[in-house]
Chains A and B, each alone.
Chain A
Amino acid sequence: MPDPMRIRAQVAGPAATVRVLMSHDMETGLRRDAAGKVIPAWFIQEVTATHNGKQVLSAQWGPSIAKNPFMQFNVKGAKAGDKIVVTWKDNKGETRTDEATVT
């Protein structure tokens, strides 16, 4: 199973700032290994975020998102104790879901 995400969600005025770090290689498919063999593309393609169960954001990513991806966004009206859930899915079909509580 993929390693967990790190999600921080902190109230900032009328919204909560959510910062997400994901553990992923984000291989472009353009690199070669020491033996000269192409390293196959392996990257997160889809990301979604929900706020108390309601989807607020979805994203499509290409391989040019940096390794161990970072994403930041502001959830309107989120208050301390609210739940933020983030899910990603990569091009091999692997997926990971983690949750954070707004502080």
Chain B
Amino acid sequence: MNKNLLIAAVAVAAAGLAAAQTAPSGPKSAGDGIAEYRAMLADGNPADLFEAKGEGLWKTKRGPKAATLEKCDLGQGPGVVKGAFVTLPRWFADTQKVQDLESRLVTCMETLQGFDAAEIAKTRFGQGEQVNVTALATWVAAESRGLRFNLPQGHPEEKRSYEIGKRVFFFRGGTHDFSCASCHSEEGKRIRLQDLPLLTKNPGDGVGFAAWPAYRVSNGEMWSMQLRLNDCFRQQRFPFPGFGSEITVALGTYMGVNAKGAQSIAPAIKR
């Protein structure tokens, strides 16, 4: 855990509580009020629960082969977890594919533990093995907390994934003519009260791609990046993107490369 980040988070939380306890409070802007609310939640992020669960899953013998995931190669060599999150999606020679964290985890679950990857990909979020994939992703991400994004772009397929992702980002469709860019291509915009990260460049430390997986306060669920993208497309009024499908991975490559240098705070807490 990055000490500075932790200290900053605690300071913010303390400030939030202190502010909340100062009574009577003068008229506060809506923005200040929301900032205070967020600060009060920052200390005690339920993502911790999923992080602990994910770590347990990584080290537990599971699946038809009764194996752990401790030999899983997330791009830094078998079993290396720290630092992996901030370099994904990337090219993997064994699968001949660019993979994001979750699709890579599923590959490991198939090859090491004997699970059926296609079956997991078909499973709904929040059910069956998908729950475990999310928890694993939460833990793997947490192991890179405080590190800076630095996706490799050396392989032609990594470059191609970026280019595909960029095009998908701007792809307009659906009943409402929305694309990812409709909401995420300008600075300082928001939907309702939610700030929208600018995703066509580095949106800053702990923002956008550097914040997910995140605990969603609104439904009390842990959301991985795959689910984040899935729900973006739902609200874009698009049809359903397959789990780990080429466009979801490519969008990850696009956002991840754009976020180069951004410090990861994942798993974060979100509205």
Task: Determine if A21 and B220 form an interchain contact, defined as CB atoms under 8 angstroms apart.
Answer: no
- Does A3 touch B at the CB level, under 8 Å? yes
* With A19-B43, A68-B46, A70-B44 as contacts: A3 and B53 at CB distance below 8 Å: yes
**Interface of A, helix, strand, loop or mixed by DSSP:** loop
Task: Determine if A19 and B44 form an interchain contact, defined as CB atoms under 8 angstroms apart.
Answer: yes
Interface residue range, chain A: 10 to 19
Q: B46-71 vs A: 1/0 string, CB under 8 Å? A: 10110011000000000000000000
Return A45 CB to nearest CB of chain B, in Å.
18
* A72 to B48 CA separation, bound complex (whole angstroms): 15
Interface residue range, chain B: under 10
CB-CB nearest in chain A for B221: A67
**Interface of B, helix, strand, loop or mixed by DSSP:** mixed
- Does A97 touch B at the CB level, under 8 Å? no
* A26 to B221 CA separation, bound complex (whole angstroms): 12
* With A66-B220, A67-B220 as contacts: A3 and B44 at CB distance below 8 Å: no
Give the contacts of A1-16 with B (CB-CB under 8 A).
3-6
Residues of B within 8 A of A3 (CB): 49, 52-53
Task: Determine if A21 and B44 form an interchain contact, defined as CB atoms under 8 angstroms apart.
Answer: yes
* A70 to B42 CA separation, bound complex (whole angstroms): 12
* A67 to B216 CA separation, bound complex (whole angstroms): 11
- Which residues in B have some Cβ–Cβ distance to A below 8 Å? 43-44, 46, 48-49, 52-53, 215, 220
Going nearest first, the 9 A-B pairs with the smallest beta carbon separation are A67-B220, A68-B46, A70-B44, A6-B48, A23-B49, A19-B44, A21-B46, A21-B49, A68-B220
